[in-house]
């Protein structure tokens, strides 16, 4: 195939007849290629990408009791390192939720495995902010963190998606 | 008309010119870049071992690593199993020291970057790990009192220059350990708390010296890394860095359809995690449940990060503190090994279950269920050509 290309380039201008012959050959080849590519593209399976999960960092909890925000304490998400994150809990009216008991679970829905660590709420920083330590993402992809929250206003749950 | 034909001819030329070159999507390129050795971060300081980066400690550690005097029978050292010219492993399905062990010797390149040690991760630091084979009756089979006496007699001054004055050993039995024979245990129990602590401190420092040495064992550049770098910079592959079509197919499968990169990721090709991959047990060996049985051992180890022999503060102990303790997926879960250099050091898996990379790939394609717990591996439709391509790619990590 390479040599055909070289011929096309090199022999141009060595007489009209041969030029036409090569150009026609080139045209034929190009048409063939377009045809093959068309078949490949039309028959290729639809891309297997799942619908992108909702990665918003602020959400209403599942029963609407609280508004929860979840963000890395130092701003960036680093793969393979233990990091602390902040979970901020407010009521619908915007008042900080204090004294909440929080348990955390999660994993990778597409790989059927849980979290590589057991993150815990280790500190209350005031203003509805809880420090979640021991968060670690060991691979790129779609992770889920599930929080069960129990406070004087009641118990509720919320799920955050993190895509790396 | 002539212009149009010229245009078509040139387009064709451009398409054909692209034929011989690897063709990766941007996502593939990103993944390939993340596997290359040049993305390996600098080794972090180990604050739990304040001698970790002290050259004299590493030099002593290297002496101890190769010293057969560090064993009950005077015939076994770390290097008996971790052979320096064999990627610090021994090519055996199960290691042989004073006795025959139940697991395969692990290669050591880059080991200082791990959060957990052993196939099941039952130790949480490199220095605590080193103390385990020294007293394991199947490996070096010694006892900590004997090691303390040996260090004082053989390396006394050298040891003291690094770690400070050795304690007074008069009155300390020649053989004693909480893990040894009945006689050694009795001798240990008869010692005072202060004596036990003095011996433990010397013992911990032996581990810290050996760990300082092991920090220098790092993975080497491979043909894959040169290929990845060229791909990244757009340079023409040189010096045999170019990949064959088969190797390119293998790489694409590894990071794509075959899903290998979900666990074997980053520049060391490991996520440092534990997974049940359905590797069958070896007949005749004692039951081995992997990570699930290691959790309690890591917690009980007096030399773990929470223990009295850690240097620095407790903030370094996150892995132990936030360890997963009782999930069902820990059953028969083993540490994801690095794949660098794997092609030239069969056999494979935690007890040498497979003798070739062909067998490893066949195992992943078949994805047989685990004898206990649930395997995370799902069957793969791989043609013979694709299997061979995966193996060809793995070989580029050893060249």
The pLDDT assigned to B235 comes to 86
Picking from A122, A104, A124, the residue whose alpha carbon sits closest to that of residue A114 is A104
Number of independent structural domains in chain A: 2
Q: Which domains does chain B have, with CATH numbers?
A: 20-40+220-288+331-395 (1.10.760.10), 55-214 (1.10.760.10)
Of the listed ranges A26-40, B71-85, B207-221, B315-329, the least confidently predicted one is: A26-40
Cβ-contact B137, B98 below 8 angstroms: yes
Of the listed ranges A45-54, B69-78, B103-112, the least confidently predicted one is: A45-54
Which CATH number does the domain housing residue A82 bear? 2.60.40.1940
Cis before B347? omega within 30: yes
State the Rg of chain A over Cα: 29
Please report, to the nearest 10 degrees, the dihedral formed by the alpha carbons of residues B127, B132, B134, B135 taken in order: 140
Q: Which residues of A touch B274 (CB under 8 A)?
A: 116
- Among B275, B322, B331, which would you mutate to test the A interface (most chain A Cβ atoms within 10 Å of its Cβ)? B322
Judgement on whether residues A80 and A149 belong to the same structural domain of the protein: yes
Judgement on whether residues A36 and A72 belong to the same structural domain of the protein: no
Nearest CB to A118; choose among B262, B266, B324: B324
Can you point out the beta strands (E) in chain A?
58-60, 66-72, 83-91, 101-108, 113-114, 120-126, 129-135, 142-151, 154-163
Judgement on whether residues A70 and A39 belong to the same structural domain of the protein: no
- Residue carrying structure tokens 């350990």: B177
Judgement on whether residues A153 and A84 belong to the same structural domain of the protein: yes
Name the minimum distance, in Å, from the CA of A148 to any CA of chain B. 18
Beta pairing partners, B355: none
DSSP secondary structure string for all residues of B147-183 = HHHHHHHHHHHHHHHHH-PPPP-TT--SS--TTS-HH
ipTM of the complex: 0.85
Domain with A37 in it: 2-44
Cβ-contact B376, A111 below 8 angstroms: yes
Nearest CB to B324; choose among A4, A22, A116: A116
Cα B378 versus chain centre, distance = 25
pTM of the prediction? 0.89
The pLDDT assigned to A29 comes to 64
pLDDT tens-digit series, residues B120-172: 999 999 999 999 999 999 999 999 999 999 999 999 999 999 999 999 999 99
CB contact under 8 A, B266 and A80: yes
CB atoms within 10 A of CB B75: 12
- What band does B18 get if pLDDT is binned at 50, 70 and 90? very low
Judgement on whether residues A70 and A145 belong to the same structural domain of the protein: yes
The pLDDT assigned to A2 comes to 41
Name the minimum distance, in Å, from the CA of A95 to any CA of chain B. 30
- What band does A43 get if pLDDT is binned at 50, 70 and 90? very low
- Residue carrying structure tokens 């004299």: B56
Of the listed ranges A79-83, B99-103, B196-200, B387-391, the least confidently predicted one is: A79-83
Name the minimum distance, in Å, from the CA of B147 to any CA of chain A. 36
Whole-angstrom Cα distance, residue A85 to residue B363?
A: 39
Residue A52 included in any domain: no
Q: How far is CA B223 from CA A12, A70, B232, B247, B338, in A?
A: 41, 42, 14, 11, 16
Tell which phi-psi region holds residue B88, choosing left (phi > 0), alpha (psi between -120 and 50) or beta.
left
Helix (H) or strand (E) holding A22: helix A16-43
Helix (H) or strand (E) holding B274: strand B274-275
Judgement on whether residues A33 and A75 belong to the same structural domain of the protein: no
Number of helices (H) and strands (E) in chain B: give both, helices first: 14, 2
CB contact under 8 A, A117 and B323: yes
Q: Which two tokens stand for residue B387?
A: 């299997």
Q: Which two tokens stand for residue B224?
A: 């894959």
């Amino acid at each position: 195939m390479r040599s055909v290309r070289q011929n096309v380039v090199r022999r141009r201008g060595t007489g009209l007849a041969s030029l036409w012959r090569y150009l026609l050959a080139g045209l034929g080849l190009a048409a063939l290629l377009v045809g093959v590519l068309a078949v490949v593209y039309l028959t290729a399976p639809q891309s297997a990408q799942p619908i992108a999960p909702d990665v918003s960092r602020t959400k209403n909890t599942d029963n609407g009791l609280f508004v929860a925000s979840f963000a890395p304490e130092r701003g960036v998400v680093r793969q393979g390192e233990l990091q602390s994150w902040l979970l901020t809990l407010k009521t619908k009216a915007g008042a900080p939720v204090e004294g909440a008991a929080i348990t955390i679970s999660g994993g990778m829905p597409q790989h059927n495995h849980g979290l590589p660590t057991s993150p815990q709420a280790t500190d209350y920083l005031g203003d509805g902010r809880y420090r979640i330590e021991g968060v670690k993402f060991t691979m790129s992809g779609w992770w889920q963190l599930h929080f069960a929250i129990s406070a004087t206003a009641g118990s509720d749950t919320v799920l955050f998606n993190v895509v790396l | 008309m002539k212009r149009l034909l010229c245009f078509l001819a040139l387009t064709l030329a451009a398409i054909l010119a692209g034929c011989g070159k690897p063709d990766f999507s941007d996502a593939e390129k990103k993944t390939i870049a993340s596997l290359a050795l040049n993305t390996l971060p600098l080794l972090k300081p180990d604050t739990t071992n304040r001698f970790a980066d002290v050259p004299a400690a590493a030099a002593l550690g290297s002496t101890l690593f190769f010293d057969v005097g560090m064993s009950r029978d005077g015939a076994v050292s770390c290097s008996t199993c971790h052979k320096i010219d064999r990627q610090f492993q021994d090519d055996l399905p199960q290691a042989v020291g004073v006795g025959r062990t139940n697991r395969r010797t692990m290669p050591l390149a880059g080991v200082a970057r791990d959060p957990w040690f052993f196939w099941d991760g039952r130790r949480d630091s490199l220095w605590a790990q080193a103390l385990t084979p020294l007293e394991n009756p199947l490996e070096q089979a010694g006892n900590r009192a004997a090691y303390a006496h040996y260090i004082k007699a053989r390396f006394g001054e050298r040891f003291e220059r690094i770690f400070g004055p050795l304690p007074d050993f008069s009155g300390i039995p020649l053989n004693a350990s909480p893990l040894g024979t009945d006689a050694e245990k009795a001798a240990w129990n008869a010692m005072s708390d202060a004596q036990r602590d003095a011996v433990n401190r010397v013992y911990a420092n032996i581990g810290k010296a050996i760990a300082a040495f092991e920090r220098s064992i790092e993975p080497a550049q491979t043909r894959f890394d040169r290929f990845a770098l060229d791909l990244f910079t757009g340079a023409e592959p040189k010096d045999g860095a170019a990949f064959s079509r088969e190797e390119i197919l293998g790489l694409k499968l590894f990071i794509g359809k075959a899903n290998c990169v979900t666990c074997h990721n980053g520049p060391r090709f490991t996520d440092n995690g534990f997974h049940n991959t359905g590797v069958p047990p070896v007949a005749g060996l004692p039951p081995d449940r992997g990570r699930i049985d290691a959790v309690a051992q890591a917690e009980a180890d007096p030399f773990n990060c929470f223990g009295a022999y850690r240097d620095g503060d407790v903030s370094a102990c996150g892995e132990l503190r936030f360890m997963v303790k009782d999930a069902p997926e820990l059953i028969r879960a083993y540490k994801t090994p690095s794949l660098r250099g794997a092609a030239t050091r069969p056999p494979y898996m935690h007890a040498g279950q497979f003798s070739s990379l062909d067998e490893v790939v066949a195992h992943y394609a078949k994805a047989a269920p685990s004898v206990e717990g649930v395997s995370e591996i799902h069957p793969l439709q791989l043609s013979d050509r694709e299997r061979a391509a995966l193996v060809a790619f793995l070989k580029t990590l050893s060249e």
